[in-house]
Structure 1
Amino acid sequence: MIHDVETRDLQVNADERGHLVEIFREDWEEYDPEPAMSYYSLSYPGVTRAWHRHTRGQVDHFICPSGRIKVGIYDDREDSPTQGEVNKFVIGEHNQKAIRIPGDCWHGFKVVGNEQAILINFPTNLYDYDDPDEERLPPDTDEIPMDWDEQPY
């Protein structure tokens, strides 16, 4: 696992009415530092939202409550013991998991399967509309050794 990336299996409490899943608790170590905001994005089947990273200390916390996504994380930090490593996670309805992503690692996701997916993020910094903290690369960049279409997921 990439240095500072953490995951937490989320407990699904199901009964005849449906299910309930806790996605944030202040006593979970994965949420350190604490989130400053939350948002969700809805993406259509096959859509890839990658690559980006943050340079001002932001940490992201990804959860996919609906649909299925492949999350990719690439560590190119010069001072990291896992420099050059890639992590891949497939999360969603079938595998409820929270992923803590150091913002200075390149990261993104792709919707896999035939249904749209919802991603919830709890970033630790507020989004600055006038000066966004984002660097971007295209999904198929040669700078990151990951193929979004590689299977199995």
Structure 2
Amino acid sequence: MSIENVVFKKIIKHCDDRGFFAEVLRDDDYLLSHFGQLSWSTSYPDVIKAFHYHKEQDDLWFFPSGNTQVVLYDLREHSVTKGKTNVYYMGENNPSILLIPKGVAHGYRVLGEKPAILVYCTTKSYNPSQPDEKRIPWDNKVIGFDWTTKHR
């Protein structure tokens, strides 16, 4: 069962001999109730950026370059999926967007040999005097996620 209100959307690439074009987000996708900010971040190979969550904003993530393992954990008290973990593999090998509702802890690990670029939208702009960002350690025992790659 997927975490309640999380939306995962595959991105369709239209390719020709010049390159490709892709619509990442459209207003008629109806994923954001309100647009606040568009941000861009780069993380280097093997970096883990986890975990944090928001009380007031939703996030919409897209990794146009590099590859990542994204982990979500539902912290919402009244959610039917409270305590559930979901894992998504996102990046240039699996172009997609991920809507992360407020109250869902999220983080990612960069996979492979190249940096990952994250482009994301939020429903509220960042306020440095009152940041809507609550941090949880990447190795939190309650979440209990094992970030190691399994070798066969």
Shorter-chain TM-score tier: over 0.9
Structure 2 counterparts to residues 1-150 of structure 1, below 5 A: 1-29=2-30, 31-56=31-56, 58-150=57-149
The structural deviation recorded for 1:34 is: 3.1
Give the gaps of 5 or more residues in structure 2.
Answer: none
Structure 2 letter corresponding to 1:18: G
In the alignment, the residues of structure 2 paired with residue 35 and residue 90 of structure 1 have an alpha-carbon distance, to the nearest angstrom, of: 25
Shift of 1:98: 0.6
**Within 2, Cα distance between the matches of 1:35 and 1:72?**
23
TM-score, normalised to structure 2, is: 0.94
Q: Which amino acid aligns with 1:49?
A: K
Mapped to 2, the partners of 1:43 and 1:20 lie a distance apart of 24
- The answer (yes or no) to whether the contact 1:86–1:145 under 8 Å persists in 2 is no
Deviations, residues 44-78 of structure 1 (Å, cap 9, x unaligned): 0001111000112x110011100001111001211
CA drift of 1:148 comes to: 1.7
CA contact (8 A) 1:26 1:34 kept: no
For 2:149 and 2:113, how far apart are their aligned partners in 1? 16
Q: TM-score, normalised by structure 1?
A: 0.93
Instruction: Give percent identity, aligned residues only.
Output: 35
How many residues are paired up?
Answer: 150
Tell me, in whole angstroms, the C-alpha distance in 2 between the residues paired with 1:11 and 1:19: 10
| Structure 1 residue 140: Cα displacement | 0.9
Give the superposition deviation at 1:103: 2.2
